[in-house]
Amino acid sequence: MSKVNDFVIRFSNVNGTGSASANLLFAKSVFRMGIPVSPKNIFPSNIQGLPTWYEVRVNENGYLGRREGIDMIVCVNPESMAKDIEDISPGGYLLYDSTKPLHEEFYREDINQIPIPLMKLSAEAYSDPRHRQLFKNIIYIGALTVLMGLEFDVIKQLLEEQFSGKEKLISANIQALNIGVDYIKEHFEYPLKVRLERRDNLKDMIFIDGNKACGLGAVYAGATVLAWYPITPSTSVAEGFEHYAKKLRVDPVSGKNNFAIIQAEDELAALGMVMGANWNGSRAFTATSGPGLSLMNELIGLSYFAEIPGVLIDVQRGGPSTGMPTRTQQSDVLAAAYASHGDTKHVLLFPANPKECFELTALSFDLSDRLQTLVILLSDLDLGMNDHLSEPFEWNDDRKYDKGKVLSAEDLDEIQNYGRYKDIDNDGITYRAYPGTHPTKGAYVTRGTSKDENASYTENEQKYKQNMDRLLKKWETAKNIVPSPIVYQKKNNSENALLFFGTTNYAAVEAMDLLEKEGIQVDSLRIVAFPFNNEVLEFIDQHEKVFVIEQNRDAQMKTLLMKELAIPQQKLISVLNYNGIPITADAIKREVSSHLALNNA
């Protein structure tokens, strides 16, 4: 059973030892060989000393979701060794540090062992303790070049790029690679059954994490103010924005920044700053995770009711409460959709890959300005913090920013009785003016309290209700301008369907193929936005059973569909994954096919 370009390898390290960069070298090399690769960093909420895993799936056919079964484990962490060995599929490989002999109880007859005395080899070659630790990892990468056909020159090129200008580091790394190469050639047969072959299949695809893509999208959308508070896993959104802003948004003449980034004292302040900046005509955003979303609730309600634009990027993680800060989940859906007390509903966007992170982040600013309300982009840790293969990003230079209904001084001169909340166009969206626009017209007090059409405080029951109803009308308008769902087939083939959103996409598209191999046809739809427009409703109506696949315990998307589209409960069948690790195609296939078998029997 050959496993060329189709296997899962998991690296098992101690965190804080430089393993992430060594393992990334592996993944990037596979990428550069033109083979689809999907690495996942499964790391602890800790700085140094605990187990960390880097799981890489290689798949020629381009299936990039997680898969059950580990074909090879490279283990340099004695603490996790027992569990790691259990996880290897029969016939698989265990590459381990044999400087100390393997304990008898870890011995499995049905797997192949590749003992390499990594620590000993590293200690012989390097005297500095930090070097010994770092280069130990590079030695096993060197070993893999021989064992798996990972191209040496590709790694060498990557090292030269990474350490360009630091010749000593490059040669030290290459020396470490060669130690691994030589050891394998001397002691083992190679290559293994699980191996790589160059394909050059990836055309112009790029390799990037979702958070960086979001940061770049914000730069392209013209965001000028970022206010944020650090939290795993969203910090790298802010870092991404800062990275690109420092390169691309500094005035070449004055040297001044065409942006402002504030690390706020907490999440409440972060969103408050976003509100102030947007109120005053700057595109501003923040990035956070579940706990931050909870804190931001009050200001989210202010955005909704006072109708102030803003973009909130929520990179979801394991909840509830502090939860699992370094694990992924899709469990903020309801909290985001209805954030804040009172009757509120918010526009949500669900990116599934880095390109959508870039595009939907950019779009969120247009939507937010147009609808004069907060837009929440729901990414997740798996997308945000792992490197993903992606289509290259595109930008149309003719594209204009949609700042929405903003009145200029000239506009105000023409208007007789301006009222901030007058529904002139009957679409629920009213006209605003930035502070400072006109000397004598267009000024009003923005407030979170009830107000009349002129933004004056009111307790009048009719005016309050009228305003609330107008916000519902605005919601209907939103349905027509948010992105449409993705439908995977030209026409329906089945009475059963899969429905999912976000990173579930990776596993779902593979599951569709797995089901088809078993003779089960399903149609599929991926939700990209909330509110749901008619296409979502029509799709569900056209099917008997819709499997709603989501990564949370309480079937939040199903709840949203039932409530917003009045779908009867029985029609939607939940397929759930909420253990913090991304869902697999195998799990989806199993649940769908067993449900259908049960119900057809």
Least Å distance, CB 263 to another protein, is: 10
Neighbours of 498 (CB within 10 A): 26
**H or E, element range at 389:** strand 387-390
Least Å distance, CB 232 to another protein, is: 22
CA distance 331 to 506: 18
Instruction: Tell me whether residue 214 or residue 525 sits nearer to another protein (CB atom).
Output: 214
Instruction: Tell me whether residue 83 or residue 399 sits nearer to another protein (CB atom).
Output: 399
Structure tokens given for 244: 């690109």
Least Å distance, CB 178 to another protein, is: 27
Inter-residue contact 499 to 547 (CB < 8 Å):
yes
Instruction: Tell me whether residue 355 or residue 526 sits nearer to another protein (CB atom).
Output: 355
Structure tokens given for 221: 């959308």
Least Å distance, CB 220 to another protein, is: 6
Least Å distance, CB 316 to another protein, is: 24
- For residue 328, how many C-alpha atoms fall within 13 Å in the half-sphere facing its CB? 22
Least Å distance, CB 156 to another protein, is: 17
| Residues forming beta bridges with residue 73, ordered by sequence position | 10, 94
Q: What is the 3-state secondary structure (H, E, C) of 350-361?
A: CCCCHHHHHHHH
Least Å distance, CB 464 to another protein, is: 17
Fill in the DSSP letter of residue 204: T
Instruction: Tell me whether residue 109 or residue 410 sits nearer to another protein (CB atom).
Output: 410
CA distance 26 to 39: 9
Instruction: Tell me whether residue 120 or residue 243 sits nearer to another protein (CB atom).
Output: 243
Instruction: Tell me whether residue 253 or residue 601 sits nearer to another protein (CB atom).
Output: 253
Least Å distance, CB 301 to another protein, is: 8
Instruction: Tell me whether residue 396 or residue 570 sits nearer to another protein (CB atom).
Output: 396
Give backbone dihedrals phi and psi of 478, rounded to 5 degrees, phi first. Answer: -60, -35
How far are the Cα atoms of 14, 15, 110, 304, 377 from residue 374, in angstroms, in the given order?
41, 37, 55, 7, 10
CA distance 136 to 120: 9
Instruction: Tell me whether residue 71 or residue 356 sits nearer to another protein (CB atom).
Output: 356
**Residues recorded for the chain:** 601
Least Å distance, CB 219 to another protein, is: 7
Least Å distance, CB 468 to another protein, is: 19
Instruction: Tell me whether residue 113 or residue 282 sits nearer to another protein (CB atom).
Output: 282
**Virtual CA dihedral for 407, 413, 414, 415, nearest 10 degrees?**
70
Decide the pairing of beta strands 37-42 and 51-59: antiparallel
| Residues forming beta bridges with residue 537, ordered by sequence position | none
Instruction: Tell me whether residue 67 or residue 388 sits nearer to another protein (CB atom).
Output: 388
Inter-residue contact 482 to 472 (CB < 8 Å):
no
What b/e readout covers 116-138, taking b as 16+ CB neighbours within 10 angstroms?
bbbbebbeebbeeeeebbbbbbb
